[in-house]
Structure formats: structure tokens, C-alpha cells
Amino acid sequence: MTTRTGTGHRTPRRHSPARAAVIALGAALPVAVAVAIWITGRHHSPQYTTGLFGEQGAAAVTLKARLGSALFALAIVQLLLALWIYGRLPGLTAAPRRVGASHRVVGWAAFLLSVPIAYHCVRAYGVETVSARVLLHSVAGCALYGAFVAKLLVVHSRRLPGWMLPAAGSVLFGAIGVLWYSAALWALNGSAVPGL
């Protein structure tokens, strides 16, 4: 990055050590969260009889698929609200203040909905790598919570670059989409999805 001086010459902009440390933390902490979930899941002994809201076995998988579909729907709403906030939806005027509040409420609702789904996945199966679909699902599940931590850090820090917020949000949306495709759609579509 450069800045323009009063003489018209460009000089490189220097980042303070504190800003560099914040950026490093902003990158390291989400990765650490994702890796910690991966390691925990890999060393966990699966308990296949774990229930979800009183359902077990195939009924728990179907319930989890429906909850995962609701989570993906909330993620789509989040994406549309974020695009509106950033002025990227054609035909809409600037987003009123309530859109930002709605974005936060929907985001927290999505996070809270994801917790019982993730808990059931980790407790019942752990992190498995038995097939490409399951590996993709496991990686996306870990990435989801790493991206969530990244988004929280970016939202609450004024020192991190502005591009990190849409980047973290994109990874978060992508992880939820991959999770839905690799598990919820798979379960609701008779254990099959194109490409997996």
C-alpha cells in the first residue's frame, strides 16, 4: 500500500507492529479453532447411538438433514442481507439500519441452530475420512466454526483490513453450503448427490 505525500510522491504505508499482531491473530485463531475441532473429532470414539432431540438412528439423520436445510436457508438470508448492506443488490436503495440488525439476529440464529447439529455429528461420528463425501463434510464442519470465529474477530476489531469481513462471511457461507450438500441433501435425496 502507498500513500500520497504533499509533494505528489508516493511513499509506502507502514503497518504498526500492533496492527500486524492483530492481523496475525485474526488469521491464527480461526485456524486454531478449526484444527482443534478436527483433532478432537479424530480422537473421539464415535457413539453411533447418540440421539438428537429424542430421535435416534435414521430418524436423527433425517432430523439433522432438515435442521441443516433450515441452516442453509438462514445462510442464504444472511448472504442477501450482507449484499444489501454492501449495496450489491441491484434495484435496492441503501440498506436501512434495521437490515444490519436483522443480519446480526439471523446470524446468531444460524449459529445457535448449527450447534446441536455439530454436536450430534461430532458425538455420533467424530471426524471421519472414510469417503470423499464424508471427508469433505468433516473439513467443512471444522471450517464453519473457524470462519465464525474469524467473522467475530473482524466485526469487533477496527484494526483488521476491511476486506476480511466479506472474506470471512464468504468462507462461512461456503462451509454451510458444502455441509448442506454433503450431508443434508445427501440424506434427503436417498443417500446420493451429484459428484459425491
pLDDT digits (tens, 9 = 90+) for 161-196: 788 889 999 999 999 999 999 999 999 999 999 988
Residue 195 lies in a domain: no
Residue 10 lies in a domain: no
Residue 153 lies in a domain: yes
Residue 3 lies in a domain: no
Domain of 183 in residue numbering reads as 17-188
Count of structural domains within the chain: 1
Give the span between the Cα atoms of 172 and 167, in whole angstroms.
Answer: 9
pTM assigned to the model: 0.84
- Confidence grade of residue 11 (pLDDT, cut at 50, 70, 90): very low
Residue 131 lies in a domain: yes
Output the nine-digit C-alpha cell for 140.
467443512
Residue 165 lies in a domain: yes
Residue 8 lies in a domain: no
